Structure 1
Amino acid sequence: MNFLVAVVSLLGTIAIFYGSKIIYVKFGKAWLTPLLLTPIIVILILLITDTSYEKYNAGGTILTHLLGPATVAFAVPIYKNIALLKKHAMVIIVSITVGSTVAITSSFLLALLVGLNDELTHSLVPRSVTTPIAMDISTMIGGSPTLTAVFVMTTGILGSLLAPLLIRTCRLNTPSAKGLMLGMGAHGTGTSKAFEFGELEGTFSSIAMVVAALISIVLSATIFPVFEQFVMNSLLP
């Protein structure tokens, strides 16, 4: 019985995703993106059928394990455009370093502002990094990988939904500007959105996502503990 549920949950999730993708392509509405529509449909089905998350995840966890290989696949467009990326190497490194620093510090300060406990705070900090690496960072700094995955997904979906508006408002016209913003702000989801604008945008977004992950690992292991200790000491009476 458990095996059957696992198979149904796996194949059902894939079917719902591709169905959502067809709907998204047909209507082109941002709020119909498969990354938003699919989990909503899955949650509704679980509630209606009274199926526990544990039973569903027996098959769903297979998709989770594919996150790593999927992230590595973004290296293909990077390799194809390596000359262009070398040309903009300094801009990429500086902008993503600043972006990663702002993402980590702002997440931490926001968590303190709303009064989250230590576990939730440390789970929120790596929200601007692609899911597999964010979960590892969360474990490293004392957060919950599961909660981090939720925060990462929420950040990615909101980032991809707001991206077109921000691009128009900020008048971002170059592929590098669009791609770096999406890769830094919305990681894998943003990269998927970036490829809708064009291959160059997707390539810059891919490299931004990878560089942001590497920089965030370094910052989380070195600068963040010092920053956290400084802030907490400053708040003590």
Structure 2
Amino acid sequence: MQMILFGLVLTLFAYFVATLLYRRVPRPWMNPILTTALAIMAVLVVSRVSYADYVRGAQVYTWLLQPATVAFAVPLYRYRQLLRRYGLAMLAGVAAGSVSAVVSSVYFARWLHLAPAVVTSLVPRSVTTPIAMDISRVIGGVPVMTAVFVIVTGVLGSVMGPFVLRVLRLRSRVARGALFGVAAHGVGTARALELGPREGTVSSLTMILTGLLTVVLAPFLVRML
């Protein structure tokens, strides 16, 4: 019981503190997801608590990912007018981004001669965590490993995104939002919201569409590649 409470409280407290720090120092490398993970790792090492004991409590947050996935239907309905207006452009961008993310992940991992389980775990790296873990489970990956790759992808996307926007000279708020949503899922969406409400909305929608499309495409592409 103590270990269950330990995992619950540690995760919640670490994220709360990380969020406060990010508000004071709003830099991409201070993203709460990254700093929370690093803080929890440090606490586990210092306290010599095993990961298995920690997960017994933190598993509750993993269970909450399932209803979170269903809740993605809410923004799709709320912003249906935006989808009607830019639907074709969004779908084209999402399709290109989803396919390139899967293909590049597979070939890059094979080029590094990584184990097959690592290759399949990398495939859904550009998809938001709850969907990515389910995809990983279906195609033979390791869901926990996939979650790590998702976090790394999101943080790198939020850090490199502004640079890419400057290089490409993107002025369209729809295009700017889509770039973060397709490439960096939830972490990128948080960064897009800092650019403006339209960018954040588009990023949220494209993030969801990317997840839904990858669910369909990933098993097929993995078998084909």
TM-score (norm 2): 0.93
Aligned to 1:85: 83
Percent identity, aligned pairs only, is: 39
Relative contact order, higher structure (CA 8 A, sep 6+): 2
1:160 aligns with 2:139: no
Alpha-carbon spacing, 1:74–1:139, altered in 2? closer, same or farther (3 Å): closer
Mapped pair 1:116 → 2:114? yes
- 1:98 aligned residue: 96
Aligned residue in 2 for 1:235: none
Residues 144 and 52 (structure 1), Cα distance of their counterparts in 2 relative to 1, 3 Å cut: same
For 1:14-73, what per-residue CA distance to the aligned partner results, in whole angstroms no more than 9, with x for missing partners? 111111111111122222111111111110011000010011111111112222333444
Distance in 2 separating the partners of 1:88 and 1:157: 27
Runs of 5+ unmatched residues, structure 1 = 229-237
The whole-number CA distance in structure 1 between the counterparts of 2:195 and 2:113 is: 39
Where does residue 231 of structure 1 map in the other structure? none
Q: In structure 2, which of residues 46, 66, 69 is the aligned counterpart of residue 68 of structure 1? A: 66
Q: Partner residue of 2:26?
A: 28
Q: What is the letter of the counterpart of residue 148 of structure 1?
A: T
Matches within 5 A, 1:114-153: 114-153=112-151
Aligned residue for 2:210?
212
Once residues 217 and 123 of structure 2 are traced to their aligned partners in structure 1, the CA distance between those partners, rounded to angstroms, is 11
Could you tell me how far apart the structure 2 residues matched to 1:81 and 1:97 are? 20
Which deviations, in whole Å up to 9, do the C-alpha atoms of 1:168-187 show, x marking residues without a partner?
A: 22222222112111111111
Distance 1:139 1:171 in 2: 38
Structure 2, unmatched stretches of 5+, are none
Change (3 A) 1:170 1:219: same
Structure 1 distance, partners of 2:198, 2:70, is: 18
Give 1:13's aligned amino acid.
T
SS in 2 for 1:128: coil
Please list the CA deviations of residues 53-108 of structure 1 after superposition, one character each: whole Å capped at 9, or x if unmatched. 01111111111222233344454444333212211011011111011010000000
Aligned amino acid, residue 162 of structure 1: M
Residue equivalent to 1:8: 6
Identify which range, 147-156 or 168-177, moves more after superposition.
Answer: 168-177
State how far apart, in whole Å, the 2-side matches of 1:183 and 1:220 are. 18
Report the Cα distance in structure 1 between the residues aligned to 2:29 and 2:125, rounded to whole angstroms. 21
Counterpart of 2:116 in structure 1: which amino acid?
D
